[in-house]
Every structure is written in structure tokens, then in C-alpha cells.
Amino acid sequence: MHIRAASSISSLKQVAQNIDDSPSAGKKPESSVSRKPKSKKAYALLFVFNVLSDPQLRKSIAASEDFDDSISVADSAVSSKIRRNESERIEYYKNQPECGKAEPHSALCSKCNKTVNLGRKQTYAVRPWEIHRARCDQKPASAVM
């Protein structure tokens, strides 16, 4: 995980201020035409991508001493998420020894006997189960039962 220094953040704010003062500020940026990102992290990545994809802005940021041009936006946005279709997610739950019963929107943890809500947007979502398992595994054996 890359954490920006305070001076780096302030230089980005300074660049954003320079953009607002420029004559092209009246023109709507391409990114705002599409729908807004749902999370703060997605919004921040979109902002950084837009700043770094504009050659004029890149030059002004490159003049800053804190800018590291060797880091690309793609490198910072890479995630380790595994994309699975529904049948692969069902198979994942079948292979989990701690999963007693898996339903499209819930799974029973046989270690703590709790039903884990898997969300309503996607069937057999894996992330809520992984979060529960990480927390459940941290608990001592006597506290789990």
C-alpha cells in the first residue's frame, strides 16, 4: 500500500487549485460526464488518474520534488481480487471446511455457528465470508463456541 506524504498531497491540492484558475476551468472534465464513483477510494483513484493523464498537469507535478514518476497509476490501482462467476463461487463454498450450509445470500460458519450475511447484490459473494473467517479465526477457541 502506497501512502503519500503530506507535502505530496498538498502539491496535488496546489495543482487542483491551478486547474480551477486556468482558462479551461469552464470546460467540464471528461470524467465528470460519466457517473460518479461509489467509494472515496474510487474517487481518489479517478482524481489521480485524471491528473496524471493530462500532460500539462504531469509537467507541473513533475516540477514538484516529491513526485515519483516511476510509479504508474496502473501499478497503484492493481488489486489482488479474484474474479469468479457464480458456479466458481458455489464451488468455493463447497470447498470451505468451516462452511456448514451455503445459500445465495448467507452462509453458516460451523466454527462459531453464526450465519454470515453475504449481501443482496451478488449471489454467493465471497468477500463477506473471507472477512468473517479472518475475524473468526482470530478469536480464541473457547470464545468461539
- Write out the chain's pLDDT in tens, 145 residues: 566 555 666 666 666 666 555 555 455 555 545 566 567 777 777 777 776 667 766 666 666 545 455 555 555 455 567 888 999 999 999 999 999 999 999 999 999 999 999 999 999 999 999 999 999 888 876 655 5
* Alpha-carbon span 32 to 19, nearest angstrom: 15
pTM: 0.44
